[in-house]
Structure 1
């Protein structure tokens, strides 16, 4: 077999493998949609959970998610944009900027589960905030801070 023929065979195998993987993915999504869409009703969206979440709706979950989003953005956007403006406009490339950029890079590389556990230990247990939107919002703000800093810095 010539190298050109082997390349065509390999390409054909890769393309057929990709189509097979996509077909499986679309099949799974289709099954979920077919079985799940009939259950998404106005009552499901607007009722509160009952029986420890086994019945009822998801309204309180949706509202809590919006609260969590608002708290995290209110904390992270001013800090992130302010840090980016400070780094780009008010400081020269020096020791402080290198430390802040290195810290941002390190924070961006930490897995979200580790940051979540850190937030749980610090805010829920040590500082006594308990299971609250504030604890989750601060933890989420720490997670999105590197993205906001880098995006604002490059803008």
Structure 2
């Protein structure tokens, strides 16, 4: 009796599988053929190239504005405060208030310092912060920095809690 029941269930399963196999369309829809896909990729690549060009132009414009008068100096992330002239024009000390926002990491801070001409090389300063385990200790807020500071002094300033 159990044998007959199991046999009936098995036959029912086979029949159900056969019906589903033949009634369900198992073709993969090919909405996008390879030519359309290649055209889309080329379009996206050209848009990426245009975006890169615009970004390069914006960065160039930004660096030109940094050399402009103080009225143009306030931008996201920094406020220019004072330029102190020394005996020669090449020894000018640039004083700036660096604003570190929530979510900024050591790479962003280093890049901002380089862009502001406080440091010469962002990658070296970022490496300095990593070697001294200071990358996670950077504090948000306004930090007064100037171009005469060394890495240790800048690192101490940006890792000090500001109120």
TM-score by length of structure 2 reads 0.27
Greater share of residues in helix: 1
Greater share of residues in strand: 2
**RCO comparison, higher one (Cα < 8 Å, 6+):** 1
TM-score by length of structure 1 reads 0.28
Larger radius of gyration: 2
